Amino acid sequence: MSTGSLFDPEPSSVPASRPGAPLAERRRPRTLAEYAGQQHLVGPEGVLRRYLNAGRLPSLILWGPPGVGKTTLANLLAAELKQPFAALSAVNAGVKDVRDVIERAKKQRGTVLFIDEIHRFSKSQQDALLGAVEQGIVTLIGATTENPSFEVIPAVLSRAQVYVLEPLSKEVLTALVDKALAEDEILKQKKVRMQDYNALLTISGGDARKLLNLLEIVVESATPEPGTGEVVVTDELVQQLAQQQLARYDKGGEMHYDVISAFIKSIRGSDPNAALYWLAVMLEGGEDAKFIARRLLILASEDVGNANPNALMLAQSCFQAVTVIGMPESDIILGQTVVYLATSPKSNASYKAIREARALVRQQGVQAVPIPLRNAPTQLMKQLGYGDAYQYSHDYDGNFANQEFMPAALSGKRFYDPGLNPTEAKMQERLRGWWGEKYGY
């Protein structure tokens, strides 16, 4: 069998850590009671806890940043239900591996199939899963750091529940450090005093695996204080010892989010030189070019917006070109797009507008659609007056009719404030001409 797969026909249990394993592996929870965070999923009222109490589990996609417990949670869920467990890594497993696991699972109904980094599976690999998931041969649990809407094919997505794992809180991460020092067989033999936590938490960026491994590096590398033999963990010490560890970009998670954050902020801040540097760091580290292109698509709308509407079209063209061409030539296309976006005028007015509108809907619920705006496909609806008094804009001068489009309770509510740039200034002028003082433009 490929090294990309693992199959255990026996009821699942979380394996013990191997000798010499890093601290994060040694501290991997073996029961849900030891699992840190994600109480909205596994707490007493959590949705996954309810499934476990019912003795069944649907197919799941676990979406969240690195180091928040996706892989561990998949193992623990299967162990709680005592179901056979199979695992595939999308990094090195192929269609044959998927089919091999499914064939074995046919002899062990109820198998939980865990696919790590499912966003890296091709369409053909995901297609190979469909029949087994539909027929109940396997219960799929996929883990991803990427938005499943982009990376998981609709047929698989429609057959799985998507659950978001939240970044671990400062309290949870601090508790992980304290418990590791008190309970780990190796660390508890040392005299360690935590004077500061901030650098550990900041550098690890909410990634529990990174946090614990960094803690181990600090404790193992630090010089004990003379006389007491005590290792005192300070922010200064952590920063000093972590510097070498942070010198290389790791697309698997160590610096992935730090570098993409610096990249996006450099473009948003209109610095093409810094943006090109961070782009080069990612490309030299082997980052997926399509991941970068997707981020540029989002940025083109979120940060450039209607200050330069062509930015979104160029970003879309970039994504399509990168998808067709691939690396190494895609670096040219990405570089051109990065320079264009970094040097474009910026506006987040549309981004803020849709966020405010959605927040209002969540807060107040959905208001009734005004009668003139309603569709009237049936005779009854026509009798009820649906569509009456609607003014067809193209029948009026300037293709504009002054009528109410908002629900009555929200009349005059304004979400969109044009940005301070020439393009949106023209938009504001048109809005002022159409609506006068209604929306305060």
Burial of residue 227 (number of CB atoms within 10 Å: 0-12, 13-18, 19+)? exposed
Regarding whether 323 and 236 lie in a shared domain, the answer is: no
Any domain includes 88: yes
Residue 15 inside a domain? The answer is yes
Domain tally, the chain? 4
The dihedral region occupied by 398, where left means phi > 0, alpha psi between -120 and 50, and beta the remainder, is left
Look at residues 113, 133, 164 and tell me which one is the last residue of a structural domain: 164
Contact between 27 and 176 under an 8 Å Cβ cutoff? The reply is: yes
Q: Does 188 lie in the same domain as 236?
A: yes
What stretch of H or E contains 233? strand 231-233
Specify the pLDDT at position 297: 95
Query: Are residues 159 and 178 located together in one domain of the fold?
Result: no
Nearest CA to 215 out of 233, 198, 229, 202 is that of 233
Whole-number Å distance between alpha carbons of 187 and 176: 13
The DSSP-derived string for 240-306 is: HHHTTTTSS--TTTTTHHHHHHHHHHHHHTT-HHHHHHHHHHHHHTT--HHHHHHHHHHHIIIIIGG
**Residue 345 and residue 336: Cα distance in Å, rounded?**
16
Pairwise CA distance, residues 441 & 383, whole Å: 38
Does a structural domain hold residue 347?
Answer: no
Using 50 as the pLDDT threshold, list the residues of the chain that sit under it.
1-5, 7, 9, 11, 246-247
- The answer to the question of residue 288 being in a domain is yes
Q: What is the three-class DSSP state of 205?
A: coil
Q: Indicate whether 33 belongs to any domain.
A: yes
Helices and strands counted in the chain (H then E): 20, 8
For residues 18 and 142, state if they share a domain. yes
pLDDT at 3: 41
**CATH number, residue 41:** 3.40.50.300
Handedness of CA 170, 19, 116, 132 (dihedral sign): negative
Q: Is 398 helix (H, G, I), strand (E, B) or coil?
A: helix
pLDDT at 244: 52
User: Can you give the pLDDT at residue 23?
Assistant: 83
- For residues 150 and 29, state if they share a domain: yes
Nearest Cα to 315, choosing from 332, 279, 291, 340? 340
| Beta carbons of 270 and 276 less than 8 angstroms apart | no
Instruction: Give the domain CATH number at 182.
Output: 1.10.8.60
The structure tokens listed for 53 are 């109490």
Residue 322 and residue 200 share a domain: no
Q: What pLDDT score does 240 carry?
A: 77
Task: Supply the pLDDT for residue 4.
Answer: 47
Six token digits for residue 22? 């890093």
Q: Are 270 and 299 in the same domain?
A: yes
Residues in the chain: 441
For 322, the token pair is: 């990168």
Q: Centre a 10 Å sphere on the Cβ of residue 412 and count the other Cβ atoms it contains.
A: 11
SS3 of residue 24 by DSSP: helix
Q: For residues 182 and 317, state if they share a domain.
A: no
Looking at 133, 164, 195, the residue that finishes a domain is: 164
Q: Is residue 355 part of a domain?
A: no
Residue 313 lies in a domain: yes
Residue that is last in its domain, among 305, 324, 342: 342
User: Which residue segment(s) compose the domain that 136 sits in?
Assistant: 5-164
What's the rounded Cα separation, in Å, for the pair 282 and 263?
9
Give dist(CA 411, CA 370) in Å, integer: 11
pTM score, whole prediction: 0.52
Give a yes or no: residue 299 inside a domain. Answer: yes
Among residues 85, 29, 83, the alpha carbon closest in space to that of 56 is found at 83
CATH number at residue 279: 1.20.272.10
* CATH code, domain with 415: 1.10.3710
Cα–Cα distance, 438 to 127 (Å, whole number): 52
Residues 235 and 188 in one domain: yes
In one letter, which amino acid is 235?
D
Task: Say whether both 45 and 69 belong to one domain.
Answer: yes
Considering the domain architecture, whether residues 153 and 188 belong to the same structural domain is answered as no
159 and 45 part of one domain: yes
For residues 7 and 111, give the distance between their C-alpha atoms in angstroms, rounded to a whole number: 9
Task: Report whether 332 contacts 293 (CB < 8 A).
Answer: no
**Region label for 67, one of left (φ > 0), alpha (ψ between -120 and 50) or beta (otherwise):** left
* Cβ-based neighbours of 248, under 8 Å, separated by 6 or more: 254, 255, 285
